[in-house]
Amino acid sequence: MYWHVAFAWSRSCALELGRNKSLSLGLCGSEEDLSLYGYIIAYPLQECGGIMSALGVDSWWRKTLYITGGALLAAAAYLLHELLVIRKEQELDSEDAIILHQFARPKTGVPSLSPFCLKIETYLRMADLPYQNYFDGKLSPQGKMPWIAYNKEQVCGTEFIIDFLEEKLGVNLNSSLSPQEKAISRAITKMVEEHFYWTIAYCQWVDNVEETQKMLATNGPLSDMLRWILSQVTGSIVKREMYGHGIGRFSKEEVYSLMEKDMRTLATFLGNKKYLMGPELSTVDAAVFGHLAQAMWTLPGTRPEQLIKGEFINLAMYCERIRRKFWPEWFVDVDDLYYDGLSEEPDSPSQLPDLGLYSRSGSFQEQESALSHHDTPSPDSDATGHSLFDSDMDTECSETEHLK
């Protein structure tokens, strides 16, 4: 670990702590020694007049002591921070545990404002793989988010993460697909992640940045300023990357026209099917859900919300079907599934609980048992009282009753 600190005196002298070998310590029972490097230099900032004349002969030693003490305290505080971070990582870095690094939960009930973070966490739940969230905001060595750590191995990029888990743990959500269906599945995934994603990002961080800014999770007395800075920086990055991609060179109306075409393609392909590739889940459902969920629940009153809750209502029911099955703690009012042109941000949004270590097999059945049908038709049921969302629990129950 390296540190570099400098203090400037109010007159004409500076005290600098640079990098040089000083001492070596063994900390926290670690097998490796933690080395500190540093040197202290005091030098005049002006060519005329030495250090003694700048600080004053009578009090020079006292001021030097104060500055040196402050520098040592700053170095100690930084070292303590690093040790706490290392200890936290050691606690999470347990054997055979999937550690998912992603952005912090938003202030609303949505799990993530990032389609890719939501995609990979939903995939882990679909594959019933226990994992632990680490909301550190730290990017991977490749500068990507999300990324996972598993038995000292780090993997970033959602496609490579899924490939890694399939190889290491033997899971495969696409095992029932034919080679042709796998090709179609990949084509849909790439359309969503390489094209539709940029239209959603434009709506989130450029056209609707004020509302997105309110959802960012920040704490402290300067949280409002920090949210504003984060939203402006992210918006600038998105605009620059969209321009490099090519889609950012079009007008606002043209960008939304491309978004509508992508959503229409998804709605047409889904049709009346339960999931995109048929009655069973596959990896493409995690990718599409991660992106459509942004239009469903993070962009109130915008064009994508109008489309998904209006003309493309089958996509809304598709998202709700997956939310109910794999996110039982993520509460959404059923009335919110239909866009009436009067959408407002709720006064007291429900915060999504941090479940930490998550495993669907242990507690999902208890959660899902509460999702029973009402005797009278409701907005999410047809005239016979059957759910329009057609969850797996509904199917299993009806099949059991039929066998009886």
**Tens digit of each residue's pLDDT (9 = 90 or more) over 5-49:** 444 443 344 444 444 443 333 334 444 443 433 444 444 444 444
* 101-139 per-residue burial string, b: 16 or more CB within 10 A, e: under 16: bbbbbbebbbbbbbbbbbbbbbbbbbbebebbbbeeeee
Inside any domain, residue 46: no
Rounded to an integer, the average pLDDT of 295-305 is 93
Paired tokens of 218: 């920040």
In this structure, is residue 82 part of a structural domain?
A: no
Residue 372 is predicted with a pLDDT of 37
Q: Look up the domain containing 265 and give its range.
A: 98-328
Over range 180-206, report the average pLDDT: 96
Structural domain contains residue 118: yes
Question: Domain with 138 in it: what CATH number?
Answer: 1.20.1050.10
The dihedral of CA 137, 140, 145, 149: what is its sign?
negative
| The model's pTM | 0.65
For residue 90, what are its two tokens?
């050691």
The predicted pLDDT at position 42 comes to 41
Closest CA to 286 of 101, 277, 19, 237: 277
Answer whether 387's CB lies under 8 Å from 396's CB: no
Cα-based torsion angle of the residue sequence 234, 208, 119, 350 in order, rounded to the nearest 10 degrees: 110
Distance set, CA 328 to CA 272, 307, 309, 344, 399 (Å): 24, 25, 21, 24, 23
Q: What is the pLDDT of residue 332?
A: 65
Does residue 140 contact residue 156 with C-beta atoms inside 8 Å? yes
Task: Give the pLDDT score at 130.
Answer: 94
Residue 70 lies in a domain: no
Residue 153 lies in a domain: yes
Q: Is residue 257 in some structural domain?
A: yes
Structurally, the chain folds into a number of domains equal to 1
CB 261 within 8 A of CB 192: no
Residue 259 domain-assigned (yes or no): yes
The Cα-based distances of 96 to 159, 162, 393 in angstroms read: 20, 16, 30
Task: Give a yes or no: residue 16 inside a domain.
Answer: no
Place of tokens 């030495």: 50
> pLDDT tens across 243-293, in order?
999 999 999 999 999 999 999 999 999 999 999 999 999 999 999 999 999
